[in-house]
Structure 1
Amino acid sequence: MKPIHILLSLSLAVATWACSSKADKAPANQATQSADDVVIPIKLTPVSSVVRAEPVIASGLVSSAQEARLSFKIGGIIDRMFVEEGQSVRKGQLLATLDLTEINAQVSQAQLANEKAERDLSRVKSLYADTAATLEQLQNATTGTSVAKQNLTIAQFNRNYAQIRSTVDGTVTRKVANAGEFVAPGASIYLISSNRRSDWVVRVGVSDKDWARLRLGNRASISLDAYPGKTFNGTVTELAQAADPVNKLYEVEVRIDPGTARFAPGLFAKVTLFPAQSGTYTVVPVEAIVEGNGKEGFVYVLENVGAKPLHVRKQPIQIGYLDGDKVLVTNGLAGIKDVVTAGSAFLTEESTVIVK
């Protein structure tokens, strides 16, 4: 009897284990099957077209269109300086002078040399009249007199420019030297910026592609860090005809209307230029872009519209530029009416979707 009881107990144990194993495997298989059948809800947004000029964005510093770097024509010791940085000056106002000791001596030498040349010429003329001097001697004396006069003119001219006078109505933005210093000819002593309200400009550098789209008179929008939240109007007034040899960019000058604001040289400005040349763009919401790298990106669109089940595919696009919460696309959406917006972050090309 005992062996029979043992066999029955073993059979019952095996049956119980088998049932439990089936019960354990069933939920796993069901979970796997459910995971494979996940349907992701998505939202489609229609694409649209717009004709617009792509703006050119650059940055630069505010400066005056009328700037003067003032210097002495000749070298020497600075005698006096009459204005300091930040002072307002008038056109023609005396700003600095050199010590004239050496310069006056040079003028005196030129005067004496001129007087001697005139005496020599008078003497040779008398001798030539008496046939005691040759024609060559008369010509040489005449030439010597002319040279002496020109040397006197040069000395007097240099003395007149041994001083600095302002060439514009403006403000002294920089003073480089002080009284008592020796300065070389042409070395900058003062930097003067015009303070007329119509003279404020921003100079920015743009690429050759952007330069080709710009024209004189194009509109510009300028924002300054000094006046957050405020936008100033501007106009393109100058386009460089050659690239900067260092950064290879073309300089564009934009004249600003300051309105009631107070400007100063050196204010940092962000400039948006609006070329007159426009193009046609396809517009999609920014949330439709799932990947982006510079001008390249991707969106999801429906694959085989009307088929069951629905699937999506990844569509490469060329991005023109961002306009708020919209993306202006230059290429890649020809013939496509809708793009996926909501739900696109969870998609792959194998996903099954349903449009909500």
Structure 2
Amino acid sequence: MRLSRLLSLILVFAAVLSACRPASGAPSLLLTPTASGEVTPVLQGEGIVATAVVVPARQARLSFPIGGAVGEVLVEEGERVQAGQVLATLDVPELEYAVAQAEAALRAAESEYSYWRYPRNKPPERRELAQEEVHKAEAALAVAQAEFAQSLITAPFDGTIVAVEIEPGAVVQPAEVVLVLADLEHLHLETTDLSERQIAGVSPGNEAVVTIESLGVTVGGHVTSIAPRAETLGGDVVFKVMIELDEQIEGLRWGMRAEVEIKGSG
């Protein structure tokens, strides 16, 4: 009788342990420190696990559309710049002179038009002719300014200069990369670990769990884009996938490695 009761207690205890254990393949809740230092839950479970690298959300390799000698380099590596800011110039005095000449011609045409604009015993055809000359001068100035703009490199977006490949006096060729600009305030993840079979289960918007082992941080994220064309790496056919973090992590740097678990589309 006593042995029977003992066996019953053992069976009940085993049943309680079985109920507390998560089912095979079921997602588990991981408590992890975030970039702000708070502990928040991140859902982990079955998904596609891949290695990723930290990259800027945007980067641009900048060049002059025309060749020539470098006049000024107005930025240094590591400097923050704003969209539209002039970063470097070519030494092209002939283009500067053309702009100055066009501006002078426009001022003269406008002065002539002002004289004929209010006719008092003045023939109207002279007023029309003067107005036409103003329009021609405006068009000529626009052309001169557009040509001069080719001697400037301006920032296409807010960011940080990460490479300076020129110095004043150096001769550059058209389209030669001379500066590299990156948006280091918004870092994403890039992975090329997904095979053609795995990519079938991934879509933009899929959730992801991102672990930065070097920082001891795990955060959520989501897939933002999938390359429309495959690449061949080491003999494997793979697709590039971009993942945006739900929050920016303090201490995260371009080039750091991460592990991502991408939740499938179901």
Q: Give the TM-score category using the shorter length.
A: 0.5 to 0.7
The residue that corresponds to 2:212 in the other structure is 224
Q: Which moved more, 1:187-196 or 1:240-249?
A: 240-249
Paired residues in the alignment total 193
Long gaps (5+) in structure 1: 1-45, 112-145, 278-356
Q: Offset of 1:105 from its aligned partner?
A: 6.6
Question: Which of 190, 197, 207 is equivalent to 2:195?
Answer: 207
The residue that corresponds to 1:75 in the other structure is 67
Q: Matches of residues 264-343 of structure 1 in structure 2 within 5 Å?
A: 264-277=253-266
CA contact (8 A) 2:206 2:265 kept: yes
Question: Which of 167, 170, 183 is equivalent to 1:194?
Answer: 183
Question: Which of 61, 64, 87 is equivalent to 2:56?
Answer: 64
Structure with the greater alpha carbon radius of gyration: 1
Amino acid at match of 2:223: V
Q: Matches of residues 70-109 of structure 1 in structure 2 within 5 Å?
A: 70-104=62-96
- Separation of aligned partners in 2, 1:259 and 1:253: 15
Q: Offset of 1:101 from its aligned partner?
A: 2.7
- Separation of aligned partners in 1, 2:70 and 2:196: 46
Question: Which of 237, 240, 262 is equivalent to 2:224?
Answer: 237
Amino acid at match of 1:232: V
Change in 2 beyond 3 A, CA 1:50/1:60:
closer
- Separation of aligned partners in 2, 1:259 and 1:101: 45
CA contact (8 A) 1:70 1:188 kept: yes
Change in 2 beyond 3 A, CA 1:192/1:162:
same
Amino acid at match of 1:254: I
Q: SS in structure 1 opposite 2:147? A: helix
Q: Matches of residues 43-54 of structure 1 in structure 2 within 5 Å?
A: 50=25, 54=46
- Separation of aligned partners in 2, 1:254 and 1:201: 6
Question: Which of 170, 176, 179 is equivalent to 1:181?
Answer: 170
Q: Percent identity?
A: 29
- Separation of aligned partners in 1, 2:147 and 2:76: 25
The residue that corresponds to 1:308 in the other structure is none
Change in 2 beyond 3 A, CA 1:275/1:171:
same
Q: Offset of 1:260 from its aligned partner?
A: 5.0
Q: Matches of residues 93-132 of structure 1 in structure 2 within 5 Å?
A: 93-104=85-96
Long gaps (5+) in structure 2: 1-17, 28-44, 103-135
Amino acid at match of 1:272: E
- Separation of aligned partners in 2, 1:223 and 1:268: 9
The residue that corresponds to 1:37 in the other structure is none
CA contact (8 A) 1:73 1:158 kept: no
Q: Offset of 1:204 from its aligned partner?
A: 0.7
Amino acid at match of 2:73: M
- Separation of aligned partners in 1, 2:147 and 2:64: 9
Question: Which of 161, 172, 179 is equivalent to 2:161?
Answer: 172
Q: Offset of 1:104 from its aligned partner?
A: 4.3
**2:245 counterpart of 1:253:** no
CA contact (8 A) 2:187 2:248 kept: no
Superimposed CA distance per residue, residues 221-246 of structure 1 (whole angstroms, 9 cap, x where no aligned partner): 2222430x221221101111211255
Q: Offset of 1:161 from its aligned partner?
A: 2.2
- Separation of aligned partners in 2, 1:172 and 1:91: 12
Superimposed CA distance per residue, residues 88-146 of structure 1 (whole angstroms, 9 cap, x where no aligned partner): 1111211111101354477799x7xxxxxxxxxxxxxxxxxxxxxxxxxxxxxxxxxx9
Superposed CA RMSD: 3.1
CA contact (8 A) 2:26 2:46 kept: no
Superimposed CA distance per residue, residues 276-305 of structure 1 (whole angstroms, 9 cap, x where no aligned partner): 32xxxxxxxxxxxxxxxxxxxxxxxxxxxx
- Separation of aligned partners in 2, 1:179 and 1:211: 48
The residue that corresponds to 1:263 in the other structure is 252
